[in-house]
Structure 1
Amino acid sequence: MSLIAAAPPLVRTTPPEDPAPLGRVSAGVWWPEIDLADLRDAMRLDGAITPDRLLHATQEAVAATISQLATWASTREQQGHASLEDVPALKVDNESILVQRFRRAVYCHAKANLLERYSDYDTTGRARRKDQEDTRDDQAEQHRRDATFAVRDILGVSRLTVELI
């Protein structure tokens, strides 16, 4: 008697003790740099997302986040703050909560982008079911919501807008 076990292929990821230099995304001196290895680790992105895909998604995420914060940032620069880190704010673990929220917004935008753009990619070679697509769409929306919350928290505005129709 023999047994043939069909398991999904292994996806190699870089172990933390041997970090491959994925690089950083910078948007000038005012904004914090985004470390791609940290993003990959924080958002649980495995080796199925190539470094190039991660870079492109992160660049778009940084651009989208900065676009949403442009007016706010311009006001802070006019007040004499040299960087986001310099804007007075609560510090958690010795880091400005504004920097943490900026990073969260970028990470969530990037993950949502990857979930939407590569939802047809399947490392197992099996066809995707409709419920799997719905789950990915829901996950992408949750990440977009979290990014919106982070941006709104930086702006100091409510997370919820309600209108009567």
Structure 2
Amino acid sequence: MGFVANGNHTPSEIVIESDSFYPSIALDHIRQIVRIDGAVTNDRLKQAIIEEIIDINRLLKSLKDKATQLSDLATTQINEQPDTDYLYLSAVANGVAAKINENYRNYDSSNAGGKKAEDAELTVDDYRRNKQWAILQLLGENHTVVELI
């Protein structure tokens, strides 16, 4: 067993399946698109992905009355994939990125680490916003909802 200073990881074949209505999520794909290095173990990343899938599936539950699969609700194809699959992946990936960045930002307690944590706060908020936007798009709603009080 060796020490890897740059946080590389060994590719896994872990695929997380939920309800057959939703597309499956590959752990390595999430790791790749939100740039999560080997400092986050596969087990921790898998747990974060599962938590996000549970949350997003709960928020999208109303769509199950409209089709047998999420991809049936697609309005277009991108690279021969339904746009709904991309939006679902975006929601999961952004939720995972927010969670991981929030949990792993406290390791450097120096002044530089404090500044880095403040910068990460903006990133965490951006990830959460992007997750919410993907969910709203899947629900067919606008990004901003304004109510008069």
Alignment TM-score, normalising by the size of structure 2: 0.88
Pick the structure with greater CA Rg.
1
Match of residue 156 from structure 1: 140
Match of 2:85 in 1: 99
In the alignment, which residue of structure 2 is the partner of 1:109? 95
Aligned counterpart, 2:65? 75
Equivalent residue for 1:130, pick from 114, 121, 124: 114
Which runs of 5 or more residues in structure 2 are unaligned?
Answer: none
Give the helix-richer structure, 1 or 2.
2
The size of the alignment, in residue pairs, is: 145
Alignment of 1:11-90 (within 5 A): 11-14=6-9, 20-72=11-63, 74-77=64-67, 81=68, 83-90=69-76
* C-alpha contact (below 8 Å) 1:84/1:99 kept by paired residues: yes
Question: Which of 119, 127, 130 is the equivalent residue of 2:105?
Answer: 119
Instruction: Report if aligned partners of 1:39, 1:107 keep a CA contact under 8 Å in 2.
Output: yes
CA distance in 2, matches of 1:147, 1:105: 4
Q: CA RMSD in A?
A: 1.8
Structure 1 residue 114, shift from structure 2 partner: 0.6
When normalised by structure 1's length, the TM-score is 0.80
Identity of aligned residues (%): 23
CA contact (8 A) 2:76 2:83 kept: yes
Unaligned runs of 5+ residues in structure 1 are: 1-8
